[in-house]
Structure 1
Amino acid sequence: MVLGFRIRWAIGLVAALFMVSCTAGSTEPSESVTTPAEPVASPEELTVSPIPEGLARLEGTATVELVVNGERVVVEVDGTQAPITAGNFVDLVERGVYDGTVFHRVVREPQPFVVQGGDPQSTDPSVPVQQLGTGGFVDPDTQEKRLIPLEITPAGAEQPLYSQTFEAAGETAKPAMPHTHGAVAMARSQFPDSASAQFYFALADLPFLDGSYAVFGYVTEGLDVVDAIQQGDVIESAVVTQGLDGLVTE
């Protein structure tokens, strides 16, 4: 009975991370799914795609400081393991996209799960609350929503796996950046390559999310502040305090 409850709880919480699909007309994942009958690749044998071009990326690490409820939350972002995901986040912080955004989803019951925010439209008080969680970053240069691929590096691998969950790719290794308490990861829709600006903090160790969502950093200071965030709390400011020189946007 306890195991069955935990399984149902995990499935329900994973569904809570899904945003409404970011792209109109997207009906299929961008990559084919590996069938169970095919052999499972080891980390050394797994074929990974090169880092996608044309997207911001982070070389090395960076430090981002958020202010929530007047308190500091310091995040170390890792571009070594997640160059595109980390680069996207650092670029959006530097652009001021997260300033004034709201944490629109907080799930603590029946067990601590996540606090999710970063929807750019949440800065507009005229946007209905029920619409929050559907928005992404619209690039002012292209007037198009920026989407980034799912990017997860298997432990021991030299490059990330792109556009597929570990399950779809037949990957059996653990990710290099797991969902431990204080992990920071990208929210997305059911389609792997649909993350844009929304992110979440893990409020507990969440191993059932490993290999399905892209962790790109960890809280190094202010985890108590994160644990106390309530729905509707605002990111008063977000700044890159170290590592901005590692951001490549060309």
Structure 2
Amino acid sequence: MFLKKITLMRENIPSFEKYPFTIPIIKGLHEIDIQSNVTFFVGENGSGKSTLLEAIADKCDFNTAGGGRNNIYDLYASESVLGEYIRLSWMPKITNGFFLRAESFYHFATYLDKVDTTGFRNYGGRSLHSQSHGESFLSLFLHRFKGKAIYLLDEPEAALSPSRQFTFLKVIHDLVSKGDAQFIIATHSPILLGYPNAHILSFDDQKITEIDYEMTDHYQLTKYFLQNRERFLSELFEED
């Protein structure tokens, strides 16, 4: 691993009454110890997992609209206020990596169309806009992700079918098994969360806690639905 610890510098925060410090998870944050090369952030929308991931990207000097250190373009509301108030502890410090924001990936692809002079060598040899959404994500994972690096991914499953999520798991495994990659991933996918020996941190219940895969809502709800589909839907659609 490279990134070992995330610390909220609480003494520097002028007020906990302003966003993002009003988010319960952020308000109660002190330190997070990173215990695996693959760490997942899970929780309901609005729980703070994407906010924290964006702050880590900001502290890594990655473009918080999506990209790496050398991808310079502007996107409205892409700045991270929280990034000014966290400290990252490294061993060793690395500068290579990438921040993926599924919601702004279109803008990253547009930026590449304007600046790429290599024939999209790091993206499968084609403009990301000329590929389907899922193909463009996989092109990024298969060709751009390499070498000693940290990868911060916000909902990478957004464009991936279940079968392509399995392909992405293989990408993670191949990079991590070489000992030169670290992943922190915010996700809702029970497939991705199944990666072996991953460290899963839940952002529910107003505090960050380690949770086993089988105890996540993602696993339990998916399992219950698959095993009790008719009953589940009947209860869901039942009139009051």
TM-score range, shorter chain: under 0.3
Higher percent of residues as strand? 1
- Give 1 or 2 for the bigger CA radius of gyration: 2
Higher percent of residues as helix? 2
Pick 1 or 2: higher relative contact order, CA cutoff 8 A, min separation 6.
Answer: 1
Q: Under a length normalisation based on structure 2, what TM-score does the superposition of the two structures give?
A: 0.23
